[in-house]
């Protein structure tokens, strides 16, 4: 599991635009007490499912959550017509390219979809979901989040 999370962190940090946008890209749950850490991406494990088969090997499927967090009151872009945090959050995650045929190169979804494998044995699944829950209350501020859930599959593990 940690190998996959480390690979996702490395992929996000390798995209210079994403790396410049976020103050934190790291393991762990959202630290709502530190407004100075926002915007941030926190990556944490959710589940491990093991599927046994008759060949004495198991397929392991990991559930991983990326929580993208920002201050709800933040404004982005040109000061004469700033972009609200809700709109900016969805654009950073899933904005389409100019032709509308795929994700823009500087989006989180593009990084995840363009890099289908983390190693020779770890393969990302097509199962990715994005949720935009209600804002979280922080100390005198509100945190807007998006939760991206990914399933990854390990090719096979031999049983003892």
Q: Which residues in the chain come in under a pLDDT of 70?
A: 31-33, 77-82, 116-126, 155-160
Given this model, what pLDDT does residue 81 score? 67
SS3 per residue for the chain? CHHHHHHHHHHHHHCHHHHHHCCEEEECCCCCCCHHHCCEEEEEEEEEEEEECCCCEEEEEEEEEEEEEEECCCEECCCCCCEEHHHHHHHHHHCECCCCCCECCCCHHHHHHHCCECCCCEEEEEEEEEECCCCEECCCCEEEEEEEEEEEEEEEEECC
Number of domains composing the chain: 1
The pTM is what? 0.84
CA distance to 26, 41, 129, 157, per residue, from 112 (Å) = 15, 13, 12, 24
d(CA 35, CA 19) in angstroms, rounded, equals 18
Per-residue pLDDT reduced to its tens digit, 137-146: 877 778 888 9
Structural domain of 84 = 2-158
Given this model, what pLDDT does residue 155 score? 63
Instruction: Output the domain CATH number for residue 106.
Output: 3.30.70.1700
């Amino acid at each position: 599991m940690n190998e996959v999370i480390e690979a996702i962190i490395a992929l996000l940090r390798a995209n210079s635009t994403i790396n410049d946008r976020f103050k934190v890209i790291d393991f762990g749950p959202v630290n709502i007490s530190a407004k100075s850490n926002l915007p941030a991406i926190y990556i944490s494990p959710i589940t491990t499912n093991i599927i046994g088969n008759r060949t004495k090997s198991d397929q392991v499927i990991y559930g991983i959550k990326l929580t993208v967090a920002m201050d709800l009151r933040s404004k982005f872009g040109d000061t004469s017509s700033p972009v609200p945090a809700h709109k900016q959050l969805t654009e950073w995650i899933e904005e389409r390219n100019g032709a509308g045929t795929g994700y823009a190169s500087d989006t989180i979804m593009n990084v995840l979809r363009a890099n289908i494998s983390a190693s020779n044995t770890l393969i990302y699944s097509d199962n990715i979901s994005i949720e935009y829950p209600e804002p979280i209350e922080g100390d005198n501020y509100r945190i807007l989040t998006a939760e991206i859930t990914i399933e990854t599959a390990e090719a096979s593990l031999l049983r003892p």
